Structure 1
């Protein structure tokens, strides 16, 4: 197992530098692990979030050959029984923020939730893949704030007057679905 000083390497399979920055900020420096990233082309599986996360982690384990984490994020509209869910990336690419809002035009219910699932494998043969989930409820609103990070401009968390995109990084990291999942993972790794 590779290490840096006394810290072991944990590979976060992502090509998204924003996700890596958020994960490093949330993890902090008090872990015996150093988080690094690698971009791998993993298949886009279909199914339920847990199934998708486990399948991606299995493939990542084979390629990384060491401790690995995979993140899968869903944006789920309650009026659409959880869709677009794990397919949010593709819906956003094709429809944009406006199109996602239009999907709910015929519904009074604009509520949604963001779900983040991290799958972790220790890199040791025989160990099971572990799942860590974080969820935050909110509302789908017209885009507001910077357009730097996915669907953040259209998701306003419950209890907040601003979208994820309008919150500063520390405020978002304190409440986000990713933060909740990573906090559970961090507790496990400690």
Structure 2
């Protein structure tokens, strides 16, 4: 049986490369960049809303992702707003947010939402990796990876193959893969 064709809604080449590496030949993944309005709210609400909008726009099956970085000392902020916090503050500024707190623990959260098409309810798949926020180490070409440390290494310092075996994105995509295989 041929793999299911999915429109992965992203303009981020690094995300696309990681998702393709993790999903392998489970699905026929096509990338499409859409400028979607993003609501404010809980992680799952944001992903589901974005997924519904994308399914309407492409008139077919879609996969969207929402990635968060949640600082435990800040009650999970910046959370789904990490993209804007990172743009405004940079890696040093994100570290400075935690300067007054002894707790530097954080969660990397990845939420994928899949929708069969317009009018269908999105299905949510989420992965969380516990780590801590550290001064930036490693290449700075992929978002907040240089400041999120997992078991002694930042995501940026990790070999991509190794990162793809433990990351929040991997954990969420494993759930998606299992679900897709059960639906086939």
CA contact (8 A) 2:69 2:106 kept: yes
Matches within 5 A, 1:36-115: 36-115=30-109
Instruction: State the Cα distance separating 1:126 from its structure 2 match.
Output: 5.1
Partner residue in 2 for 1:179: 170
Q: TM-score, normalised by structure 2?
A: 0.95
Q: How far does the alpha carbon of each residue in 1:73-125 deviate from its partner, in whole angstroms, 9 at most, with x for none? A: 110000000000000000000000000000000000000001110000122x6
Contact 2:52–2:121 at 8 Å: present in 1 too?
Answer: no
Deviation at 1:7, TM superposition (A): 3.4
State the alpha-carbon separation in 2 of the partners of residues 90 and 126 from structure 1.
30
Q: What's 2:9 paired with? A: 13
- Aligned counterpart, 2:155: 164
| 2:184 aligned with 1:188 | no
Out of 116, 134, 153, the position equivalent to 2:127 is 134
Unaligned segments of structure 1, at least 5 residues: none
In structure 1, the partner of 2:147 is 154
* Aligned twin of 2:112: 118
TM-score for both structures, normalised by structure 1: 0.92
Secondary structure at the aligned position of 1:101 is classed as: helix
Deviation, 1:23, is: 0.5
Tell me whether 7-16 or 174-183 shows the greater mean CA deviation: 7-16
Q: How far 1:181 sits from its partner (Å)? A: 0.3
Q: Which secondary structure does the structure 2 equivalent of 1:179 belong to?
A: helix
User: Gapped runs of 5+ residues in structure 2?
Assistant: none
Paired with 2:5 and 2:16, the residues of 1 have a C-alpha distance of: 14
Deviation at 1:65, TM superposition (A): 1.1
Q: Give the length in aligned residue pairs.
A: 181
Alignment of 1:18-29 (within 5 A): 18-29=14-25
1:32-90 CA-partner distances (Å, limit 9, x unpaired)? x2001100001121111011011101100101111101100110000000000000000
